[in-house]
Structure 1
Amino acid sequence: MIPLQVGDTIRLRKPHPCGSHDWKVMRTGMDFRIQCLGCQHQAWIPRVKLERQLKEILQKTDSAEL
């Protein structure tokens, strides 16, 4: 299991239709809510699918900020 937190910025393998590969994690759990950093579109994605599509974690959120 990949340790992702709300506020982390991630890069996925396939681009969003707007062209951006970068997303912000908005909610965690069995399903993730992620927000495209290109067009601000939000999407729900199952944890298993997100972990397969994840290319890299660009920025971790410091837990003290939350």
Structure 2
Amino acid sequence: MYDLGDIVEMKKAHPCGVNRWEITRMGADIKIKCTGCGHVVMMPRREFNKKLKKVLESKADQA
């Protein structure tokens, strides 16, 4: 699945043109940060799971 620090791709791209997000907080809500412009978005886990397309880079793979 996904974990803190992973880089994920969402179904819709951010208006800045980048579709890579870093997970910065996990809990009932998930906070993600755009890797292009640095914009931070916080959304409920259920909504995040709907909008998630795939995990691009996993911190577990790099460790």
1:62 aligns with 2:34: no
Cα deviations by residue, 1:1-43 (Å, 9 ceiling, x for unpaired): xx32110000000011111111000000110010001101111
- Residue correspondence of structure 1 range 1-66 to structure 2 within 5 A: 3-62=1-60
CA RMSD of aligned residues (A): 1.7
TM-score (normalised: structure 2): 0.88
* Equivalent residues of 1:4, 1:28 under 8 A apart: no
- Give ranges in structure 1 of 5+ residues lacking alignment: none
CA–CA separation in structure 2 for the residues paired with 1:45 and 1:14: 15
Task: Point out where structure 2 has 5 or more consecutive residues left out of the alignment.
Answer: none
SS at match of 2:23: strand
Structure 1 Cα separation of the partners of residues 12 and 6 of structure 2 = 18
Amino acid at match of 1:38: G
TM-score (norm 1): 0.85
Number of matched residues?
63
- Structure 1 segments (4+ residues) deviating >4 Å: none
